[in-house]
Amino acid sequence: MQSLKDRMAAANQLLSDVAVPHEGKLGRVFPEAEDDTRFPFQRDRDRVIHSYAFLRLQAKTQVFVAGGEWGDHVRTRLTHTMEVAQISRDLARLLRLNEDLAECIALAHDLGHPPFGHAGQDALDSWMREQGSSFEHNLQSYRIVTVLEKHSSLYAGLNLNREVSDGLLKHSEIHPESGETLSHSLEAELTNVADAIAYNSHDCDDGLTAELFSREELLRVPLAKEAYERTLERGTYIRGSLQHMMVHDLIDHSSLDPKDAHPIAFSPEMKKGLQELRHFLWERMYNHPLVLAQTAEGQAIIDRLCRSFLKNPNDKILNLQKRTNSTVVEAIKDYVAGMTDTYAKLMALQM
């Protein structure tokens, strides 16, 4: 077998100058010998895929409460994550950025999402604010890979390369640990946009499947209409066509100049089209009475769990607190945020 170093050098030749090279630049917190069959970011990807937090994505809400009355043909947090990873890889290859890094950030990007989707995040955040703190799912994804997951008895977390863990700090400008200004890799920027490409297109699909709106109603949105017209010839569906249009637009309009505020960006026309689509989805899907009823139930469950655990923390919470050297409040937050929808419901029934 050719050496890892030689294989990485050859693969780096295919990357743009602004890509993160295959050996990375920032390294791991705990130095480790590299594996000879996989590049460092491939290895990180495998650690993410084999983590407990990743397994739990299968029973977490994307928009619809997982395993609920909507049937099996709507996205969960896991299938959403797989779509983001797929789009990230393709975009990275098209832009000659590091596919392995983009894929790895994508697979980890929603690990910190609590049960019941954004409603769950709001409920957990308001409870944490009562306790003088706050909750944000991107920071929680970072905490999962750096503190909460167990990969080796020698260190906490997954000991990923810092390009991956820092890439999860989506809305942070300052690093939560070092206090330094964060400069996001283009691969991390790309994954953010891939997230938007994935949810804007698959939510149209899920909304139609769950019959929250009709195709005629969706087609009143100009971008959706354009996407639909493109499908007629091939007899395909609107989701794929929307993705295709967004990917093309992004490739044609990204500067890839790290000095730009948004080096990976859509054209102004696509931004406007997406704003109209977002508006439609907000009104007709995320704020649909049936979706709101489910999310309200989820919020009540999270609130009940947190209050009850604060009065009476169980062994899992106390062990977690000890292992992570945290406050009880933080351990409750970590425990509840990690739950699947199913597990949270089950726990709430026992209270």
In the bound state with Mg ion, the residue whose beta carbon lies nearer, of 24 and 207, is 207
Closest by CA to 11, choosing from 43, 51, 46, 40, is 40
Cβ at position 155, least distance to Mg ion in Å: 27
Closest separation in Å from C-beta 199 to Mg ion: 6
> For residues 70 and 199, which CB has a smaller minimum distance to Mg ion in the complex?
199
- For residue 183, the tally of other CB atoms under 10 A from its CB is 10
Residues at the site binding Mg ion, with contacts judged by CB under 5 A: 110, 195
**Which of 41, 42, 29, 20 has its CA nearest to residue 183?**
20
What is the DSSP secondary structure assignment for residue 65, as one 8-state letter?
Answer: P
* Structure tokens that stand for 60 in this block: 């977490």
Contacts of 149-155 with CB under 8 Å at 24 or more apart are: 149/51, 149/52, 149/53, 151/47, 151/51, 154/30, 155/29, 155/30
Smallest distance, Mg ion to C-beta of residue 256, A: 23
Looking at the Cβ atoms of 100 and 110, the one nearer to Mg ion is 110
3-state secondary structure 144-168: HHHHHCECECCECECCCEHHHHHCC
Residue 267, both tokens: 């054209």
Q: Which is nearer to Mg ion, 110 or 163 (CB)?
A: 110
Q: Which is nearer to Mg ion, 103 or 195 (by Cβ)?
A: 195
Q: Minimum Å distance from CB 6 to Mg ion?
A: 36
Does the CA dihedral 77-83-85-91 come out positive or negative?
negative
* Residue type, position 100, single letter: D
In the complex with Mg ion, which residue's Cβ is closer, 149 or 203? Answer: 203
Q: What are phi and psi of 212, to 5 degrees?
A: -80, -25
Rounded to whole angstroms, the maximal C-alpha distance in the chain is 61
Please, what is the minimum distance in Å from the beta carbon of residue 258 to Mg ion? 23
Min separation Cβ 176 and Mg ion, Å: 20
Q: State which residue, 125 or 195, has the beta carbon closest to Mg ion.
A: 195
Q: Provide the b/e sequence for 200-224 (b: ≥16 CB within 10 Å).
A: bbbbbbbbbbbebbeeeebeebebb
Could you tell me the smallest distance in angstroms from the CB atom of residue 228 to Mg ion? 25
Cβ–Cβ under 8 Å, residues 83 and 202: yes
In the bound state with Mg ion, the residue whose beta carbon lies nearer, of 147 and 196, is 196
Pick between residue 43 and residue 202 the one whose CB is nearest to Mg ion. Answer: 202
Q: How far is the CB of 76 from Mg ion (least distance, A)?
A: 12
Q: What does the chain come to in residues?
A: 351
Interatomic CA distance for residues 170 and 193, integer angstroms: 11
CB of 1 to Mg ion, least distance (A): 36
